[in-house]
Amino acid sequence: MTRPILVFDVNETLLDLNHLEPLFDRLFGDPGVMRQWFAQLILYSQAMTLSGLRGDFASLAGSVLRMTAAIRGREVTDQDIAALGQHMRSLPAHPNAAAALGMLRDGGFRMVTLTNSPLSSAGPSALDRAGLGGYFERQFSVAPTGVFKPAPATYHHVADSLGVAPSAMCLVACHVWDTMGLQALGGRGALVTHGVNAPLPHEAVPQPDLVAATLTELAGQIIDQWGGSQRA
């Protein structure tokens, strides 16, 4: 089987969202609200795409924080919104991310990223700040497409930019909604659960080709499945 180009999601897959919990603990007295906020952020990003509305993921994140606060009878300030943005831009890598990416790079895999977040034109990306940018040949954002993942246009944007078909790529993510997006176009999917997610067992949903609890385990499976010596 031809080895795929690995397309990594960024937020939660490579960068650790748990480092946002202290901010949510301060704002809501419950660090677990972070997961609820992130789920709503994904829901409303997808709702905007389905509704034909355009927006920026970073500003939407702040708006969803205000909505979450209103639901809970709390107030957030402009400074709180700014703090969220700063934290999102400086998320650390998962502890085993560099080791996993090193395994795949040494195996000769081509790797790129695709994120809903906008890429800064004025400085390093969140991935660069986390020390992972050097593992990837390119970093893509959905921003040029005007829609959010898992809209087909987002994956076609990467495929077209690389000069390949979607079937030549494998989406590596912590979210089934992301892996199924590329798999629906004939690509492959590799799911890392990080202890917070799981496959969706439904007959209409394409199941990930590979599933692992950690990035290093997943990297090992990718090498075993698709080999590390052949050219993509």
| CATH 3.40.50.1000 for the 5-16+92-226 domain, yes or no | yes
Q: Report pLDDT digits (tens) over 166-220.
A: 999 999 999 999 999 999 999 999 999 999 999 999 999 999 999 999 999 999 9
**What is the band of 119 on the pLDDT scale with cuts at 50, 70, 90?**
confident
Distances (CA, A) of 14 to 8, 26, 132, 191, 223: 8, 25, 9, 12, 18
| CATH 3.40.50.2300 for the 17-89 domain, yes or no | no
Q: At which residue do the structure tokens 């990003």 appear? A: 45
Instruction: Provide, rounded to the nearest whole percent, the portion of the chain with pLDDT above 90.
Output: 94
| Strand 188-192 to 111-115 pairing | unpaired
Phi-psi region for residue 201, left (φ > 0), alpha (ψ -120 to 50) or beta?
beta
Number of Cβ within 10 Å of residue 163's Cβ equals: 7
Residues of the chain with CATH 1.10.150.240: 17-89
Q: At which residue do the structure tokens 């890598």 appear? A: 93
Asked whether the beta carbons of 50 and 92 are under 8 A apart, the reply is no
Q: Report pLDDT digits (tens) over 129-159.
A: 999 999 999 999 999 999 999 999 999 999 9
- Distance from C-alpha of 56 to C-alpha of 51, rounded to nearest angstrom: 15
Distances (CA, A) of 138 to 55, 81, 128, 184, 224: 23, 29, 12, 23, 24
Q: Report pLDDT digits (tens) over 87-97.
A: 999 999 999 99
- Distance from C-alpha of 200 to C-alpha of 198, rounded to nearest angstrom: 7
Residues of the chain with CATH 3.40.50.1000: 5-16+92-226
Q: What is the CA radius of gyration of the chain?
A: 17
The amino acid at residue 128 is: D
- Distance from C-alpha of 5 to C-alpha of 169, rounded to nearest angstrom: 5
Q: Residue 108 above 70 pLDDT?
A: yes
- Distance from C-alpha of 175 to C-alpha of 149, rounded to nearest angstrom: 11
Q: What integer pLDDT is reported at residue 230 of this predicted model?
A: 47
Q: Residue 52 above 80 pLDDT?
A: yes
Write down the mean pLDDT value for the chain: 95
Tokens describing residue 84: 């969220």
Whole-model pTM: value is 0.95
